[in-house]
Amino acid sequence: MPDVDSVEEYFLIRSQLESLRQIMHKVIVEPLHILPFMQPGRLIKVRPHLSSISGRPFTLELQVNGHWGIVINFQKKPTTNQAADGDKSQPSQMYIVDALLPLAAQQPKEQQGTDPGPMEVTPVMLHVLEEVCSLVVRFTRLC
């Protein structure tokens, strides 16, 4: 294969780009940086991920590409002593964002994409956020 060096160089650049993307994501989702933007109505994209604390799921099973949702509220929760003792990298406070997200699609493939289906307020952790949009949707609370 004549271009082995260029293929190897391309692979190294792609892996370096991915590691830099992961570092950037960790910095962005730090509470100090992201909490000022977690206003009610902010559009966020949740990555497809299943995370749990005490056996309770904090995100719904989402489709492969993840989904856009709307921030409803966020709250600070103290971590349990058990989690703090086991993992020193965990912060002493954990932030949970309540977001209005579409439920996992139970529709046939031909109908997917036209109707997002039912929506539900779902608690998600900050590290599960993939993107934060500059748009804020203004809505009135019905309750």
Domain contains 70: yes
Range of the domain at 89: 37-136
How many domains does the chain contain in total?
1
What's this model's pTM, rounded to 2 decimal places? Answer: 0.67
pLDDT of residue 58: 46
Query: Is 59 part of any domain?
Result: yes
Residue 118 falls inside a structural domain: yes
119, part of any domain: yes
**CATH (domain of 131):** 2.30.30
What Cα–Cα distance (Å) separates residue 13 from each residue in 6, 9, 22, 25, 40? 10, 6, 14, 18, 38
- Domain contains 129: yes
Per-residue pLDDT of the chain (143 residues; tens, 9 = 90+): 668 888 889 999 999 999 999 999 999 999 999 999 999 999 999 887 544 444 444 444 444 346 888 999 999 987 765 444 455 554 456 899 998 888 765 555 555 556 667 888 888 888 888 889 999 988 776 65
Kindly list the distances between the CA atom of residue 7 and the CA atoms of 4, 14, 66, 72, 134, in Å, as whole numbers in the listed order: 5, 11, 31, 46, 37
Q: What local confidence, expressed as pLDDT, does residue 10 receive? A: 93
The answer to the question of residue 8 being in a domain is: no
Please write the tens of the pLDDT for every residue from 17-37.
999 999 999 999 999 999 999
Strand partners, 131: 45
In a domain, 101, yes or no: yes
142 lies in some domain: no
